[in-house]
Structure 1
Amino acid sequence: MSSVRRARPRQFLLASAALTTFAAANLPAALAQEARNMLPPVEVTPAEPSRKPPKPAARAGQGARRVAAHRPAAVPAAPKPVVPTQTPLNTNAVATSASRLGLTVRETPATVEVISAETMREQGYRTVSDVAQGAVGVTAGDNPAEPSAFSMRGFTNSQINTLYNGIKIGPQNMTSRIMDTANLEAVEILKGPASLMSGEGASGGAINFVTKQPHTGAIRSEADFSWDSLNSFRTHYGSGGSTNVEGLDYRFDVSRSSLNGFADDTNTKTLDVSGQLNYRISDSLKVWGAIEYREDRGKAYWGAPLVPVAFSGSHATAGIVSGSYVSNFNGTNLGPVTIDDRTFNTNYNVIDNRNLAQEIWLRGGFELKLALDLTLKSQAYAYGAERSWFNNEVEAFNSTTNLVDRERFYVAHSQRLIGNITDLTWDANIAGFDNRLVTTLSSSYLDFVRPGAANFPDDTVTLVDPARGTYGLLTIQQQTARIDNEALAFEDRLKLTRSFALIGGLRVEHIGLDRNSTDVSGLEKASFPFTKDWAPVTGRIGYTWEAVPGLTFFSQYATGADVSANNIFLLLPTQPLDLTTSRTYETGVKHLFWGNRAEWSFSAYDILRKNVYAAAGGMLLNIAGRQESKGVELAASIRPIEPLRLWGNIAYVDARYADYNFVGGSFSGNTPPNVPRIVANAGAAYRFFTPWPVEVGIVGRHVGDRYNTDSNAVTLNVYTVGDLYAFVDVPRNVFNAVDQARLTFRVRNFTDKRYAIWGDPFYPDQILLGAPRTYEISAAFKW
């Protein structure tokens, strides 16, 4: 039966690719359409006209204790695509991960943020975790077992889909890596249940990373360099534009970074090389191809251990963590806990530790105008990844011995993914109403092999100046997962009036899983292999109403689904083989006004997720029944006078478990891990229009109390940090070879605040600390 089902995805891939064949067969007819007008875009009601010209603006599992493991946006066929002006909150941007209808953020009946490459550069966002933390109500952590983990609207980790150019490669807590921002064009954040767009796993939303795209026009190049006081450096070179071949545009980027940690002997080194070619065969047909290679290698920081206040004495710190704790690892009662100030820079990892990953993407497709009102887009993709973790991952203080207990863990991934996504867009007039319908057929086949440790060497070290040692003996066992996925989705926008539109969609999905697990002798474990199928149906229905130009009200009802027992790749036959279901009610307003110099948005939501399984105070799974999240989000940006920019956002969420009962207790009413009730960002910048223009700015971030486990026994205390920066734009006559040159000086965490940034519920004996004050200088050139 398993072999039969594994054949199905390949058949389905052929079925979805049949549309490609259909397109090729109709190529002569398509070419005959060259003389016709382009497909009309979805109508965008113009915002209030500007009175001034626009301004530049793995972890893996160990039995029940280790449960979690570590399109291109379609370019229009028109030779000269129009780039929308970036508004203060960037709501003119089109987020393909939020809708396939070609809608701007302001036209989408959901809360969507698009952080542009320009914003990333100005704010000094070096990694995607930095980007997320500047967004409304989003927090992030780079726990090395699950790097680039996010939390928003009460949901974390694999409850939020992570996408790469609109493609999902697997659950976040196994596939995400630390990623530099240099090769990215934008980061799109879609809040709330969003399975309509990206399928299983999007109960909390989706975050999409979009690589830089070719443009039509003169070749433009850029180069960036930076260095900081931890001896970290980043370099990037990029170039793109039209070639001498008529209709052929290109984009190429290469970046390299070495980011040193504040803990001893910790660092992450990244390399990213990406390129894409777009070829306009005619006004009706464009083909494209893209390739990307990513690599990261690191020596990991796994956090600082929770220590009894009584033991630390004068070295106990206040304001980082609080509460009382019984060690999940060794069972000793630590009583009231703290972070010992002697451990701020201590690395408890073994000397021969390593974290590394190599990833390669191949993508290609076409966009074909079949008729005046009919457009076909298709892309095929292949992805491969090799990842490994070889570390001491546990550091648990033992109140009986006053030593730190450690335990090793090894895991590796070999992942292969192939797939196809095909869209057919139809513009029509139904009974006098403009309508756009997008039908999407997608399929993928994933093969995942996970060699992992069968033994877990352990030892004890001193809290201060520990003898790091080496990993020691390693024996290996293996797990496999084969997942096929097929989906048919419909999304529609019906304009009942020029200002009021109904927008909805439906997704029917099939997920097939084959799992196997063998021991060190290669013998299958009990209850393996096994097979499981799911068929979730999810969707969205909502409206947008532009009451007056620039002022848009919206509401939506949306649903999502994800695996109840944390991770589809590592699901065990003894765990619940069900999907959770989630739904959201959301309403809000988006307002662009004052000649495009000011913009604000507000949303209120109510999310319910049922059939939840969660980490109960450590490395065990318990049923949580339901998770409820209610909250509001507000963002605003304004330029009251030409030199001054002000911006800020604040989010409040009340996220709680309900019906979370288990043998020996209940966590009903508790808050999920890494979910702060309040998150706020604010910033101001002032530009001096001197012969060498100078801009100075300050950015602050406030994050409320959080917990590191469902038991809510230990609190990661509230913190507020801030960055300062100043840059000077060097006149062109100084560097004649470049059009723009900018020199920047930045101070991160200028108050040198010590704080807890993230807690891993599967490793609750240790807490990740935020980086101390650092200084950075950078230079950027464009020509």
Structure 2
Amino acid sequence: MFSIRIVRPRSVLLASAAFTSLAALDPPAALAQQARDPLPPVEVSPPQSRKPAKPAARDAQSTRRAAARRPATASAVPKPAVPAVTAQTPLNTNVVAESASRLGLTVREIPATVEVISAETMREQGYRTVSEVAQGAVGVTSGDAPGEPAGFSMRGFTNSQINTLYNGIKIGPQNMTSRIMDTANLEAVEFLKGPASLISGEGAAGGSINLVTKQPHTGAIRNEADFSYDSLNSFRAHYGSGGSTNVQGLDYRFDISRSSLNGFVDDTYTRTFDVSGQLNYRLSDSLKVWGAVEYREDRGKAYWGAPLVPVAFSGPHATAGIVSGTYFNRTDLGAVTIDDRTFNTNYNVLDNRNVAQEVWLRGGFELKLAPDLTLKSQAYGYGAERSWFNNEIEAFDSTNNQVYRERFYVAHSQRLVGNITDLIWDANIAGFDNRLVTTLSSSYLDFVRPGAANFPSDYVPLVDPPRGYYGSLEIQRQTARIDNEALSFEDRLKLTRTFALVGGLRVEHIGLDRNWTDKTGLEKAGFPYTKDWAPVTGRIGYTWEAVPGLTFFSQYATGADVSANNIFLLLPTQPLDLTTSRTYETGVKHLFWDNRAEWSFSAYDIQRKNVYAAAGGQALNIAGRQESKGVELAAAVRPIEPLRLWGNIAYVDARYADYNFVGGSFSGNTPPNVPRIVANAGASYRFFTPWPVELGIVGRHVGDRYNTDANTVTMNAYTVGDVYAFVDIPKTVFNAVDQARLTFRVRNFTDKRYAIWGDPFYPDQILLGAPRTYEISAAFKW
């Protein structure tokens, strides 16, 4: 366990925290509240039950995007004893995505493409980790490269060009801070496409992904338990409970989960442990206070990929359809393949480890200052300790027909504190309904990164390599301190009952202090250095509900971030300019057929300037510009009560421009891990027998991708599918359990061998997808 500390106080942070404390100490008396037609008033009472209890005969009767999260309430007057019931829609657009807007808008009311995958969908589709959730989203791919686990590709952008948020809070660059995370403690995962600096701050060129933990609800206590086991001897277990306590106004939520996910490669696994809890206390109709704590831990032995091997060397063991192309790095391999003898081979050393421990502390209040004025604030602290101790490079050397291995060690000690305060004002301006949210936020990040100063190496045979041990270790030390203060405004003006303008502006200050000392403690040349930026970003757009249920939208948005894929690879000799991005987007969202069918379409054009890209090893190249254009289509329908159909497809054309360097140019090339086409489709049918049974099938197609900016090696397109069947056991069987479900699932039922991800910092090796596995699970609610 470790503590949260502030190394250097910052005036804005302290002022924001003081404002939070003073406001909470002097609440006014409860005031009458008025319901507004265009936007529901801000709700001060704790969130109501997310999902109404469903009949045992049809627990999965909801559409694919079921289990609406934080439904918009129709009245500001709290009614704690009555669960909120919100009509659920096939694409789950009737929920509020707080990472996409602070205005309390539903997905259909936001002039951007937003997708919310609920806990119910995660359970039905068998999504065990956040990476698996992303693979089911529209146009999103993901990979768990152990150097950058839980990496994503979206709209032509990858890794740290996409913000990963935890309950709306950014903790740092994705490729430095994200970990493999189990979904058991999550209420929803939100995907916001395109530049998202207005809401989540610097770093969101391709969008943001928000992980939302399960929240308290007001009402009867509900418990749940889940268990699963698969053919790789993996297991998962989870228990959760939430509801109202005997203390008037006090609601709680508690979740604990444990998993051990074994890899298909010898001696590889990830073990996770997560405990989270939150208390909401409604002191009066006008004031609610809350506090939350979470501890997460993951430990594992990592799979770093299969080495690229010359086709000429592999001979009859060369595989077709996984990779193609030619490769030159350490040596010229010519045409490359994945040797089938390496599918399950672990080239890592025996004493390898990947470990992370994380602690979250959050707390705040919601205060109704007047009928149309609400103050919300939260303070947070986060601490993390991470370490990698591995053989990370597996490069086939054609001069001796062996695999060159190289070790690497790095650790993180991270501390983050911050505050976010919102003032929400509902007003009528010249007869037009308007909502304005003013946000003051500040944070301070302290990042210490000891890492290897020497890199032990050796050669091993391609087949049955002796794994050996890490060897000697020498350590150097890097530090980074990032201050961030921002003032933002977001507004929605209803010009008519069907047409609204939505926009916002964010003024931000980013301060970076870096240092680097060698193994003797001496500072390296050019260090320490300090740099400050002050970007101004924003969004302007509209929504127009042409006919009930049919909404057109367009937006223009901008973003900015510190111009590096990794803050510790940015050298003082490189240009320290901001990376900037902008997007044009237009689309339509349509809900019809008595809420049984829904589809959405969007087209976009994104441009990012001054891009830093991985050059292999621990080096970066500078690309002048990155351009991305594409379209996305999603649809879901329930034509008859037992049958559900859904599908989505995304096309993107992503290119570098002005990407020149000494010795060559990558202009016109596609960024790594970006497929042109990603498609998902699924169907399920429910048999209304005494023990209801549902059968389902899900398919996924991912197009060709490259593993590096050079675009010489292609990770070939693949199509995989899962099938599942579950049975809902009537309450009469288990009297103490309201809902019980047994599920059998086959993942990758065709046993397809494919490349799922490539880490451009390790271009000699490719991560393969898992083969066919079988899983059985049980879930109970009472």
TM (norm. structure 2) is 0.94
Give the corresponding residue for 1:60.
none
Distance 1:74 1:617 in 2: 47
> Given that residues 39 and 369 in structure 1 are in contact (C-alpha distance below 8 angstroms), is that contact kept between their aligned partners in structure 2?
no
Once the two structures are overlaid, the 10-residue window that deviates more, 80-89 or 442-451, is 80-89
Deviation at 1:7, TM superposition (A): 8.9
Kindly provide the CA deviation profile for residues 199-231 of structure 1, in whole angstroms up to 9, marking residues without a partner as x: 110011000000000000000000000000000
Counterparts of 1:465 and 1:423, CA distance in 2: 59
Matched with 2:39 is: 43
The residue that corresponds to 2:157 in the other structure is 155
Q: 2:139 aligns with which of 137, 142, 154?
A: 137
Partner SS, residue 281 of structure 1 = strand
Q: Distance in 2 between matches of 1:619 and 1:23?
A: 47
**Which amino acid in 2 is paired with 1:641?**
I
Cross-structure match for 1:562: 561
Rounded Cα–Cα distance in structure 2 between residues aligned with 1:628 and 1:144 = 28
Asked if structure 2 preserves the Cα contact closer than 8 Å seen for 1:227 and 1:234, the reply is: yes
Question: What corresponds to 1:16 in structure 2?
Answer: 16
Deviations 1:732-767 (A, max 9, x none): 100111000000000000000000000011100000
1:276 aligned partner: 278
CA contact (8 A) 1:743 1:780 kept: yes
- Report the counterpart of residue 101 of structure 1 in structure 2: 103
Equivalent position amino acid for 1:173 in 2: N
1:43 deviates by: 2.5
| Aligned-partner SS, 2:736 | coil
Within 1, Cα distance between the matches of 2:646 and 2:311?
40
**Counterparts in 2 of 1:432 and 1:9: CA distance versus 1, 3 Å:** farther
Alignment CA distance shift 1:520-1:600 (3 Å): same
- The secondary structure found in structure 2 opposite 1:31 is coil
**What's the counterpart of residue 56 of structure 1?**
62
Query: Which residue of the partner structure matches residue 88 of structure 1?
Result: 90
Query: Does the CA-based 8 Å contact 2:478-2:568 persist in structure 1?
Result: no
Equivalent in 260, 284, 298 of residue 300 of structure 2? 298
Q: Distance in 1 between matches of 2:460 and 2:548?
A: 66
Is 1:747 aligned to residue 746 of structure 2?
Answer: yes
Give, in angstroms, the shift of residue 561 of structure 1.
1.1
Q: Distance in 2 between matches of 1:661 and 1:717?
A: 27
Give the CA deviation at 1:512.
0.6
Identical residues among aligned pairs (%): 85
User: How has the CA–CA distance of structure 1 residues 551 and 515 changed in structure 2, closer, same or farther, with 3 Å as cutoff?
Assistant: same
1:469 lines up with 2:468 in the alignment: yes
Distance in 2, Cα, partners of 1:169 & 1:24: 26
CA distance in 1, matches of 2:654, 2:419: 37
What is the alpha-carbon distance in structure 1 between the residues aligned to residue 574 and residue 385 of structure 2?
Answer: 27
Asked whether the 8 Å contact 1:39–1:373 carries over to 2, the reply is no
Which string of whole-angstrom CA distances, capped at 9 and with x for unpartnered residues, describes residues 173-223 of structure 1? 000000000000000000001100111100110000000000000000000
CA change 1:549–1:394 in 2 (3 A) is: same
SS in structure 1 of the partner of residue 298 of structure 2: strand
Aligned to 2:50: none
For residues 498-523 of structure 1, the C-alpha deviation after alignment (integer angstroms, 9 at most, x for no partner) is 00000000000101111111111111
Mapping 1:293-332, distance limit 5 Å: 293-327=295-329, 330=330, 332=331
**How far apart, in 2, do the equivalents of 1:595 and 1:11 lie?**
54
Question: What residue number does 1:31 align with?
Answer: 29
Alpha-carbon distance in structure 1 between the residues aligned to 2:7 and 2:132 = 42
Equivalences for residues 587-598 of structure 1 within 5 A: 587-598=586-597
Q: Is the 8 A contact 1:357 1:385 kept in 2?
A: yes
Deviation at 1:576, TM superposition (A): 2.0
* 2:498 counterpart letter in structure 1: S
CA spacing shift, 1:25–1:296, aligned 2, 3 Å: closer
Residues 489-500 of structure 1: pairs in structure 2 closer than 5 A: 489-500=488-499
Letter in 2 for 1:90: N
Secondary structure, counterpart of 1:449 in structure 2: strand
Shift, 1:83, TM fit = 4.8
Summarize deviations over 1:590-620 as a string: whole Å, max 9, x none. Answer: 0000010000000000001111121246653
Query: 5 Å matches for 1:439-458?
Result: 439-458=438-457
Structure 2 counterpart of 1:103, which letter?
L
Please say if residues 77 and 286 of structure 1, whose CA atoms lie closer than 8 Å, have aligned partners that are also in contact: no
Asked if 2 retains the 8 angstrom alpha-carbon contact of 1:42 and 1:436, the reply is no
TM-score normalized with structure 1 length: 0.94
Q: Secondary structure at the match of 2:284?
A: coil
> Deviation of residue 72 (structure 1)?
11
Alpha-carbon distance between aligned partners in 2 of 1:346 and 1:102, rounded to the nearest angstrom: 50
Match of 2:205 among 203, 206, 214: 203
Cα drift, residue 25 of structure 1: 5.1
8 A contact 1:378–1:423 mirrored in 2: yes
Q: CA deviation at 1:39?
A: 6.5
> What one-letter code is carried by the residue in structure 2 that aligns with 1:267?
Y
User: Is the 8 Å Cα contact of residues 726 and 746 (structure 1) preserved in structure 2?
Assistant: yes
Aligned length: 751
SS of match in other structure, 1:207: strand
Q: CA deviation at 1:524?
A: 1.1
1:99 Cα offset (Å): 0.1
How far, CA to CA, are the matches of 2:425 and 2:568 in structure 1?
Answer: 37
Q: How does 1:672-711 map to 2 (within 5 A)?
A: 672-711=671-710
Ranges in structure 2 where 5+ consecutive residues have no aligned partner: 1-5, 42-57, 64-68
Whether the 8 Å contact between 2:320 and 2:337 is mirrored in structure 1 is yes
Provide the secondary structure at the position in 1 that maps to 2:700: strand
Write out aligned runs for 1:228-243 (5 A). 228-243=230-245
| Distance 1:638-1:294 versus aligned 2 partners, 3 A rule | same
Matches within 5 A, 1:49-448: 55-57=61-63, 78-80=78-80, 82-327=84-329, 330=330, 332-448=331-447
SS state at 1:491 partner: strand
Q: Is the CA contact (8 Å cut-off) linking 2:71 and 2:86 kept in structure 1?
A: no
The 1:519–1:74 alpha-carbon spacing in structure 2 relative to 1, beyond 3 Å, is: farther
- Superposition deviation, residue 525 in structure 1: 1.1
CA distance in 2, matches of 1:298, 1:85: 42
Give, in whole Å, the separation in 2 of the partners of 1:272 and 1:776.
Answer: 22
Report the AA paired with residue 210 of structure 1.
V
One-letter amino acid of the structure 2 residue matched with residue 122 of structure 1: E
Does the 8 Å CA contact 2:72/2:104 hold for their aligned counterparts? no
Residue 416 of structure 1 deviates from its aligned partner by 0.5
Taking only aligned residues, the RMSD between alpha carbons, in angstroms, comes to 1.8
Inter-partner Cα distance in structure 1 for 2:576 and 2:250: 49
The CA distance in 1 between the partners of 2:39 and 2:546, in whole Å, is 16
Structure 1: tracts of 5 or more residues without a match: 1-5, 46-52, 58-70
Whether contact under 8 Å (1:77, 1:284) holds in the other structure is no
Q: Distance in 2 between matches of 1:274 and 1:193?
A: 30
What is the CA–CA distance in structure 1 between the aligned matches of 2:588 and 2:568, rounded to whole Å?
Answer: 39
The 1-side partners of 2:575 and 2:620 are apart by 10
